[in-house]
Structure 1
Amino acid sequence: MELEKALYKADYLLKQKRYAEAHKEVNTYLASDPESIPALIILIQIYLGLDKNEKADEVADQLIKLDPSDANILYLKGLTQTQTGKRKSALKFLDSALAFDPMMAEAHGLKAAIYFLDAEFEKALEAADNGLRIDPQNEICLNHRSMALLRLDRKEDHVQADQQALKSNPMNPLTHASVGFGALQKGEYDKAKDHFREALRIDPTNEYARQGMLESIRATNLYYRLFLKYAFWMQGLTPQVRWAVIILGYVMIRGLDSVSNALGTFAPIAQAVVIVYTTFAISTWIIGPVSNIFLRFHAFGKYVLTEEEIDVANRCAALLLMAVLGAVLFYSFDVDPDVQWKNLGFYVLCSGIALTVVVSSIATRTLEKSKRRLKTLGTIFGIGCGVLILMAFVLPNLAWDIFNLLLYSFIGYQFYANSQE
C-alpha cells in the first residue's frame, strides 16, 4: 500500500512540475519493483522535465525491452529520440507506435513537430491534419498546423488556424506562444508581445514563451528586426539548402576579396561588400547573447533572462571589451619600431571577436551533447588565442603563423558548430 502511495504521489508531483520530489518518490517505488512499466513511464517524464534527455532515452530503451509492442512506449521512445536530436530515428518509432495504434493523435502531432523542425512544412501540415482528424482539439497538431501554414505562405489559412487554436483552448500557453511567434514572423511585434505575455502569465516557466518574449523585446531594435527576417528566412529552408547558402556566401566573399584589387574603380565597392557581408555574418553569430547585454538594463527584459544567459552576456561583454582594447592598441601604433605592438593589438582584437563568437555558439546550442563538444573545442581555441597573444611578445614572427592556423581553425569551428543543434 505504501509503495502504491509513493507511485501516486510521484505522478501528482510530476503534474505539479516538482520534478526533484517526484524523482525521489518514483525511485522509492522502483527500488522494490525495478521493471514497473507505470513507474518507468513516470521516470521518463521526470527526466524530460529536468532536461536529462539522454537518461530519459535510456529508460525508454528499458521499457521497449519490457514491452516492444506497446504504442505508448514506442511514442515515448520517439519523444526521447526527438529531444536528443535523433529525429530520423524518432520518426521510425512514431510510425511503429501508429502501426499499433493508428488513433494516437499525439504521435501525429510529434511527427508534425519533427517535420516542422526539418523545414518539411508540407509533411508537417499533413501530419497535423492527420492528428486533427482523430482529435480536433489536439493542441500540438493545432499549433504546428498554424506554424506550417505560415511557413507555406498560406496567410488566410494561417489566421483561421490561429483563431481555431485560441478558441480550442484560450488558456494554453503553448498556443499563445505559437501565435506570438507567428505574429513576430509577420512583423506584428506588439501583438507578439501580448501573446507571449499572456503565455507567461498562464505558465511563468514556459521556455518557448520566454524565448519569444526575449525576441520581441530585442525586435525593438531595427537592426535586430532585419536579423529576425533573415533568421526566419533561413529557418524556412531545408538543412541542405541552408548549408548551400552558407558555403556559397563564403566562397563568393572569398573570391570577391581575392580579386577586389584587380577591379580598378570598382575595387572600393567590392571591398565594401566584403566588409558589410563579413560584419553581418559575424553579427548573426553573436547577436543573441550580445543583445542580452543590453537586455540586462531593460525594465522588463532583465527579469526574463536566466542566470545562464546573464553569465554568457557578461562573458561576451568582457570579450568585446577585450576586442575594443585591441582595436585601440592597433590604431595607436603606426610606426615601424612599434610594429609588434600594432600586431599585438590586431591579435587581441581578432581574439576578442572570435571568442565572443565561440561563447555565443555554445550558448545557443539546444542539446547538451552539442554543448559539451563545442565547449571542448572552444576551450582548445581559447588556449590557442592565449598562446597567440603570448607569442606576439616572445616570438612575433611565429605569431603570424599561429594566427593563420587559428583563422582556419575558427572557420572550421563555425562550420562544425552550424552542424550541431
Structure 2
Amino acid sequence: MTDHLERGSILYDSRRFKLAEDEFRLAVAENPNDSYAHGMLGLALAGQKRFDEAIKEAKECINLEPDNSWNHYAISFVYYHWGRLKEALAAIEEALRLNPHHATYFGMAAEIHLMRDDWQKALGMAELGLEVSPQNVDCLNSRASALTKLGKHKEAEQCVDEALSHDPENDISHANKASILFRQGKPKESAEHYREALRLNPTSKWARDGILEALKARNPIYYPFAYITAKLSDMDRRASLVFAIVLVFVPPLRSLTFLFLIMALAARKFFNLLLLLDPFGKRILTEDERASTACFGVWLATLISSTVLFLVFKPLAVVAPMAIILQVLLLVPLMRIFDTTPGLRRDIIAVITAGTAILGLWILISSGMGGRDYENITESEKMMCGVFVLICLLSIFYPNGKQE
C-alpha cells in the first residue's frame, strides 16, 4: 500500500472524506491501474454524496479487476448509499459469488435487505456472515436490526450487547441499542445511546433522528404516537402490502389510519416547537426542521384563529367544521415541502400545496360563505372536496428524493 493510500484510508476511517479524496486522487495519479485506489476514491466520493463521480470510479475499479470480489463490494456500497438497492444487491451477490467467505459482504447484503424491508432475508444473510466470522460487528448489528424489526427485542439486545463488547466505540451499535430500548418503552435510556452514537459520528442521520424522537418521547403524551409509528415501520414488504389492501377495502380503518397520521404529524411538529426551547434539542434540529417547525407554528396559529373566527361570526359558523377539516388536511402536503430535497422536487410539492390551499379556499367561499347550508352544496363542490382530500393523501407518497 502506497503512502497516499495509507493516509487516505486513515482519513476515510475518521470520516474526513474530502481530505481522503485528495489522497486517493494522488494514489490514482501515481498508479492509474490500481483498482483499489479507484475503489477507495469512489467510497470517499460517496461519503460526500457525489454519487455520479463515485459510480464512475467504482466502475473503473471493476474494469481494471473484474474478478476481484472487493471491487464489487465497493460498487455495491456506493449504490446502497445512493438508494439504488437493486443494483447494490446485484453487485454484492457477485462479490459473494467470487468470495463466499467474507463476513463483511454478508453484512452488506443484510443491510440492503433491511432497506428493502425484507427482515427475514436480512436475518439470514447476517447469520451466514456470523458463521464465517462470529465476532463480525457489521453482521451482529445487521442481525440485531433484523431481530428488532421482527419484534424479537430480547434476542436483538443480546446481539447488540455482543457487538458493543467487541467494539464499544461503534456508533451503529449504540444507535441499534437505542432503537431497541425505545421499543421497550425506555426513551430516556434510548436517548443516552443515541447521544453516544452522535458523539462518535456527528453525521449519523439515524442517531440524530433517533435522539430527536427519544427526547420528545420523554413526554407521555407524545410517546404513544412515536411507539405506534415505530411499530408500523417494522412491517415488512408483505405486511405493508396486506395492510394497504385492507385500507382500500375497509373505509373506516382507512379513515382512522389517516387520522392517526395527521395526529402523529401534528404531534411531531408541536413537540419540535417545544424542542426549540431546549438548548440541546435546538442544536440537533436541521435548518429544514426549524423552518418546518416555524411553518407549523404559523399553521397552528391560523387554525386557532380561524376556528375562533368561525365561532364568533355566526354567518361563517355553517362552514366552520369544513374549514377546520380542510386546514387539518392541508398540514400533510405543507410539511412534505420540508421533507423533500431542495430543487425541482421541492418546488413541485410547494406549487401543489399552494394550489391545494387555493382550492380549499375556493371550496369554502363557494359552498358556505354565502350562508348556504350543507344540503345545498353542489355535486361539483363535493367533487372538489374529494380532489382536495385525494391530493393531501397522495402527498404522503410523493418521493422526497433524499438519499441517506
Structure 1 residue 108: Cα displacement: 0.4
Q: Post-superposition shift, 1:137?
A: 2.4
CA distance in 2, matches of 1:350, 1:126: 46
Q: Does the CA-based 8 Å contact 1:132-1:141 persist in structure 2?
A: yes
Partner of 2:165: 167
Aligned partner of residue 218 in structure 2, secondary structure: coil
Partner of residue 294, structure 1: 274
Ranked by relative contact order (alpha carbons within 8 Å, sequence separation 6 or more), the top structure is 2
Tell me the alpha carbon deviations over residues 34-82 of structure 1, each in whole angstroms, 9 at most, x when there is no partner: 6653443233222222233454334333433333322112112222222
Normalized against structure 2, the TM-score is what? 0.81
Instruction: Supply the distance in 2 between the matched residues of 1:331 and 1:247 (Cα, whole angstroms).
Output: 40
Residues 228-259 of structure 1, C-alpha deviations (whole Å, 9 max, x = no match) = 33223222222243243245336533699xxx
Instruction: Report the counterpart of residue 61 of structure 2 in structure 1.
Output: 63
* Aligned counterpart, 2:233: 235
Partner SS, residue 244 of structure 1: helix
Which residue does 1:410 correspond to in 2?
392
Distance 1:20 1:155, change over 3 A: closer
The answer for unaligned runs of 5 or more in structure 2 is: 368-377
What displacement does 1:184 show?
A: 0.8
Counterpart AA for 1:384: G
Alignment pair present for 1:279 and 2:294: no
* Alignment root-mean-square deviation, CA: 3.6
Question: Aligned partner of 2:336: which letter?
Answer: S
Contact 1:319–1:353 under 8 Å retained in 2: no
Q: Distance in 2 between matches of 1:50 and 1:226?
A: 36
Deviation at 1:196, TM superposition (A): 1.9
Partners of 2:209 and 2:276 in 1: how far apart?
15
TM-score, normalised with respect to structure 1: 0.78
1:305-384 alignment, distance < 5 Å: 305-335=285-315, 349=324, 352-364=327-339, 374-384=345-355
The answer on whether the counterparts of 1:286 and 1:357 sit within 8 Å (CA) in structure 2 is no
**Residues 171 and 7 (structure 1), Cα distance of their counterparts in 2 relative to 1, 3 Å cut:** closer
Which one of the candidate residues 75, 78, 81 is aligned to 1:80? 78
For 1:355 and 1:20, the matched residues in 2 are separated by 41
Aligned to 2:95: 97
The reply to whether residue 107 of structure 1 matches residue 108 of structure 2 is no
Of all paired residues, the percent bearing the same amino acid is 24
On the 8 A contact 1:286/1:361 being kept in 2, the answer is no
Q: Which amino acid aligns with 1:230?
A: I
CA spacing shift, 1:359–1:255, aligned 2, 3 Å = closer
Is residue 26–residue 42 contact of structure 1 (8 Å, CA) maintained in 2?
yes
Assess, with a 3 A threshold, how the Cα gap between structure 1 residues 9 and 217 changes in structure 2: closer, same or farther.
same
- Any idea what SS the aligned residue of 2:175 has? helix
Seen in structure 2, the aligned counterparts of structure 1 residues 410 and 306 have a Cα distance that, compared at 3 Å, is: closer
Task: Report the alpha carbon displacement of residue 100 of structure 1 after superposing the two structures with TM.
Answer: 0.9
Task: Report the Cα distance in structure 1 between the residues aligned to 2:339 and 2:282, rounded to whole angstroms.
Answer: 18
What does the per-residue CA deviation read over 1:182-216, in whole Å, with 9 as the maximum and x for residues that have no partner?
11111122321232233233333433222221121
| Structure 1 residue 26: Cα displacement | 4.4
- Within 2, Cα distance between the matches of 1:252 and 1:418? 28
Would the aligned equivalents of 1:166 and 1:176 in 2 still touch at CA under 8 Å?
Answer: yes
Contact 1:60–1:76 (Cα < 8 Å) also in 2: yes
- Counterpart residue number, 1:265: none
Deviation at 1:96, TM superposition (A): 0.5
Instruction: Indicate how the Cα distance of structure 1 residues 286 and 141 shifts in structure 2: closer, same or farther if over 3 A, else same.
Output: farther
Deviation at 1:286, TM superposition (A): 4.8
Quote the offset at 1:282 in angstroms: 1.2
Q: Runs of 5+ in structure 1 lacking a partner?
A: 257-273
Pick from 277, 284, 309: which aligns with 1:304? 284
Distance (Å, rounded) in 1 between the aligned partners of 2:152 and 2:384: 52
Deviation at 1:327, TM superposition (A): 2.9
Q: Deviations over 1:345-381 (max 9, x none)?
A: 955x56654443224335456xx5xx76752441231
Separation (CA, whole Å) in 2 of partners of 1:330 and 1:104: 67
- Tell me how far apart the structure 2 counterparts of residues 204 and 9 of structure 1 sit (CA, whole Å): 22
Count the aligned residue pairs: 391
Task: Give the conservation status (yes or no) of the 8 Å contact 1:388–1:399.
Answer: no
